[in-house]
């Protein structure tokens, strides 16, 4: 079974702090994704990576950056956390080559910014 893990289930940070969210997948997937999920808005794509050190902006990249130094690990960075970044953050992974391949999700990190 595909296993996607995220470093924290719950996180509380203060405004202005730098925040790191980490995601690890164990299926040798090329693609990795970061989403945020908010009530009434659904899942929105923040960033996507299709290979080590490669990244693409999603629909809402402002205020975020990402890092992918190893194939299995994809990090989301909030450079200076703000209260409007309080949300559920979800990581996903999928294989490369077939555009319709399924994205498999991690358990999520509930981030609260005070």
Partner 1 sequence: EDQVTQSPEALRLQEGESSSLNCSYTVSGLRGLFWYRQDPGKGPEFLFTLYSAGEEKEKERLKATLTKKESFLHITAPKPEDSATYLCAVHRGRTGFQKLVFGTGTRLLVSP
Residue with smaller CB distance to partner 1, 40 or 69: 40
Residue with smaller CB distance to partner 1, 79 or 94: 94
Residue with smaller CB distance to partner 1, 2 or 77: 2
In the complex, least distance from residue 106 CB atom to partner 1, rounded to whole angstroms: 5
C-alpha span between 50 and 54 (Å, rounded): 6
| C-alpha distances out from residue 20 to 1, 64, 66, 109, Å | 26, 10, 9, 11
Binding residues for partner 1, per CB under 8 A? 4, 31, 40-45, 48, 50, 56, 58, 90, 92, 94, 99-108, 110
| C-alpha distances out from residue 113 to 5, 17, 32, 42, 49, Å | 22, 9, 25, 20, 26
Residue with smaller CB distance to partner 1, 17 or 51: 51
In the complex, least distance from residue 67 CB atom to partner 1, rounded to whole angstroms: 18
In the complex, least distance from residue 22 CB atom to partner 1, rounded to whole angstroms: 15
| C-alpha distances out from residue 93 to 9, 26, 39, Å | 18, 10, 23
């Amino acid at each position: 079974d595909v296993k996607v893990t995220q470093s924290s289930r719950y996180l509380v940070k203060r405004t202005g702090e730098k925040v790191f969210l980490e995601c690890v997948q164990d299926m040798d997937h090329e693609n990795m994704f970061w989403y945020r999920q908010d009530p009434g808005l659904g899942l929105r794509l923040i960033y996507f990576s299709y290979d080590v050190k490669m990244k693409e902006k999603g629909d809402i990249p402002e205020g975020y950056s990402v890092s992918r130094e190893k194939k299995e690990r994809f990090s989301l960075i909030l450079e200076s956390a703000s209260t409007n970044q309080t949300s559920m953050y979800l990581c996903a992974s999928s294989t490369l080559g077939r555009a319709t391949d399924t994205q498999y999700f991690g358990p999520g990190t509930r981030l609260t910014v005070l």
